Structure 1
């Protein structure tokens, strides 16, 4: 009996992982119609609507814990929304869901690189319920001593320890961070230490994941970005390997009070990767525009090509999925 239950659970996991790809494909296909058209809100809205429709076919009872905002701020995929085939009637595995239907709305509007549609799934209670505020983040790839970098250390100290662990010079290291005014001192400190820097216009989920992708050439991610995106990135690194720390950045007491209502009792706490994404986790993403990790949607007469990644923490398996979509035979049902 236990063997049968284990096999059933394994098959459910595998099926869910592939279903998540269908969800991100739908969002990416919808957003791709808005690449370079200068309307980031339309691109985001199309991705959100398509992702929500796609979730309606997935055999889960899911609760969105990282979403587009609160119910009064977002018409769909809001925090607390129930999604999935069994959302109304109940049934199927109960899971928590983190989504960013279009990470890189401005990138998409401008036709720039690295926009992705992404979703993560965890056992119920597995994700940190991060409010929509900034999070200070630091991340490195797999195969390094535990605690090699730390949020409370200076950029120079972290770069020195990382170079030592990798057996290289600081000048060999590539730092990734968002190109923001708030990072001026961080960028200055990294350059003063001798490191090289890649500046992102947007999309720090992909930026964090790149530390685990040798072909991306990124050694460390530093800096602040959205806390919800931090949880998504932590879910990915739980699957693919790496270390990450995050600390919420509060601007006022109202934000502190709101975080406490979501179960966050220590505003100064540094969260480890396991505290942001616990238990069995799945992650999927589909490229909207091409970047270091994924190729973007390529539309053709009557169809499209998509490029996705899907991974599970239980097995550590990472799969890349290339989808060839023939709209003449199977219309893109989730894309309006």
Structure 2
């Protein structure tokens, strides 16, 4: 028997205010060349906004561990409900500014991003790397697999889509570590779309026919992987991820939060289960969302909010009068 979600539907719209706050706070740092200040502004604003929500929230994906991040660290309690024991218990994954370098350079596609779930439903991942593969919805289950060669995944995907491999576009982060993936994709005949940063948007792009992205492959941050999985849970798609550990310290951090199988391949549902709310607000304009703008004394934001339980996707334009 299924159980009702503990997440109030009003929380879906309340969550947007949190990412809007992060995006607006980042606005003054667009193009200023200071990644740390842009990120800190977003962190401070999101924390204040979260503490105004009637929830008992715990950050499971945040800015790092407590000794590394003064705010929004993994394990931090947020939400007004902690003071009086009211409101739903929720796990929170967030990236106050996905694309700090993008923002500092005023390049396209930076976002403020957050996912909420019922307690215990989001993968509590350390801040390490993750191998990822993702495709959009409407495809046979298991059409691609993280353990298969690139050429095999492309052939399977092309067959499922009824097209040639030459018609496929693969989204890949522009990093030296991906040189072999890029080489294999091009050798198989697929096109490559290189992105400078922001692999959450890269994964979500596989679900939007207008982007022409068919598959995302590559290694990026594990926190971003969990957030991307939360988004795909809402809009439909398939994703797999495997944590990548570069040294003994990263492995020890994983053990401390209860991860014992370091080679485990996670499905989308294992990274983000139950009722999930995902929201993102554009900081700089990109293919997914428009960035923050100021026009005639008004600050304008463009956001998307999704919920897995209902399958709803809402686009929200926010307008706020700038205080004089």
- TM-score when scaled to structure 2? 0.97
Q: Deviations over 1:5-50 (max 9, x none)?
A: 96xx68x532101011010001000101111111111110100001
Gaps (5+ residues) in structure 1?
A: 332-336
Q: Residue 141 in 1 paired to residue 136 in 2?
A: yes
CA apart distance, 1:314: 0.2
1:261: Cα distance to partner? Answer: 1.7
2:237 corresponds, among 237, 242, 264, to: 242
Q: Per-residue deviation at 1:72?
A: 1.0
Select the residue among 226, 244, 254 that pairs with 1:259. 254
Q: Which residue of 1 aligns with 2:176?
A: 181
Partner of 1:213: 208
Cα distance in 2 for partners of 1:313, 1:148 equals 22
- Counterpart of 1:114 in structure 2 is 109
Q: Which residue does 2:149 correspond to in 1?
A: 154
Q: 1:18 and 2:8 equivalent?
A: no
What RMSD over aligned residues (CA atoms) do the two structures have, in Å?
Answer: 1.4
Task: Say whether the 8 Å CA contact 1:215–1:292 is kept in structure 2.
Answer: no
* Preserved CA contact (<8 Å) 1:62 1:83: yes
d(CA) in 2 for partners of 1:235 and 1:288? 20
| 2:118 pairs with one of 123, 127, 151 | 123
Q: CA deviation at 1:258?
A: 1.8
Taking the TM superposition and a 5 Å limit, the aligned residue runs for 1:5-84 are 13-84=8-79
Question: Are 1:306 and 2:308 counterparts?
Answer: no
Counterpart-to-counterpart distance in 1, 2:162 and 2:8: 38
Show structure 1 runs of 4+ deviating over 4 A: none
Counterpart secondary structure, 2:42: helix
Q: Give the structure 1 partner of residue 164 of structure 2.
A: 169
The DSSP-based 3-state class of the residue aligned with 2:82 is: coil
> How far did 1:183 drift?
0.3
TM-score of the aligned structures, taking structure 1 as reference length: 0.93
How far did 1:265 drift?
A: 1.4
Aligned equivalents of 2:247 and 2:112: distance in 1? 31
Distance 2:84 2:180 in 1: 52
Q: Show CA shifts across 1:235-270 (max 9, x none).
A: 000001000000001112332222122111111110
The 2-side partners of 1:253 and 1:53 are apart by 35
For 1:334, the equivalent position in structure 2 comes to none
Cα deviation, 1:263-298, whole Å, max 9, x if unaligned, reads: 111111100000000111000000001111111111
Residue 275 of structure 2 corresponds to residue 280 of structure 1: yes
User: What secondary structure is seen at the aligned counterpart in 2 of 1:13?
Assistant: coil
**Aligned counterpart, 2:223:** 228
C-alpha deviation, 1:323, in angstroms: 0.9
TM-fit CA distance, 1:87: 2.5
